[in-house]
Structure formats: structure tokens, C-alpha cells
Structure 1
Amino acid sequence: MLSRITTNPRQYGGWPCIRAIRIRVADVLQLFAAGLTAGQILAEMPDLEALDRQAALQYAA
């Protein structure tokens, strides 16, 4: 699952991203913290997959 999390010093200053598609893990976590549901997050970020959300949560844990 955590293999979906990538880091690249040339993207977002090395912040962890989802599958190198330039969606930061922190962005996904902030949407959860703001109260969005899993479905709303997928609607907000159409390139994101359900397993990506889970990987972001595992990474944060």
C-alpha cells in the first residue's frame, strides 16, 4: 500500500505525493481533516483512487 507514496526532491520540495501524480499526501489529509467524505475527496481529485486515500491515511499513521 505504501508503495503508492512517492517522494521526489524536484516535486513539491520532496513532500510525499500519491503515485507521482503531484497530489501531496498532505493535501489528501487536509481534505479529510476539513470533514470531506471519502467520496467527496474522490470527486475533488479525479486522478485519485480509493487505494490512494487509504495509502495517505496509512502514511500519516
Structure 2
Amino acid sequence: MPCIRDLRIPVSTILGQLATGRAAGEILEDFPDLEPDDILAALEYAAAAVQERELPLAAR
């Protein structure tokens, strides 16, 4: 499970908080060890994870 730095806070926890409409400032208050760049890193990770990849079709 991917986590934020060495904090053992799952990326999915941060993404879930954002998905429910919580502001970054609220998340930072709940997780005092987090930094604003950690939230951005979680979003970048999610973007990379769902990035569309083009796969060539195999010839038959």
C-alpha cells in the first residue's frame, strides 16, 4: 500500500479526504506531520496510477 513518505499515512486516506470535499488545510490540521507538498504528491501519484496507456494490439 503506497504511503506518504515515512509517515505510514496511506495515499488512499488523503485521496479519500479530498474526494469528500475536505480542504487541504483541514487535512493538514488532522495530520500535523503532513506538509502541503505531501498532498500534492498524493494527487500526482493518483494521476500517474490512472494515466491512460496505449497498448498495441497483437497480430493474429
The two structures have a TM-score, normalised by structure 2, of: 0.76
RMSD: 0.5
Paired residue type of 2:18: F
Counting matched residue pairs gives 47
Q: Per the alignment, in what secondary structure is the counterpart of residue 34 of structure 2? A: coil
Structure 2: runs of 5+ lacking an equivalent: 48-60
Find the aligned partners of 2:30 and 2:19 in 1 and give their Cα distance.
14
Identity %: 53
Question: Which has the larger share of helix?
Answer: 1
Relative contact order (C-alpha < 8 Å, sep 6+): which is higher? Answer: 1
Per the TM alignment, residue 58 of structure 1 is displaced from its structure 2 partner at its CA by: 0.3
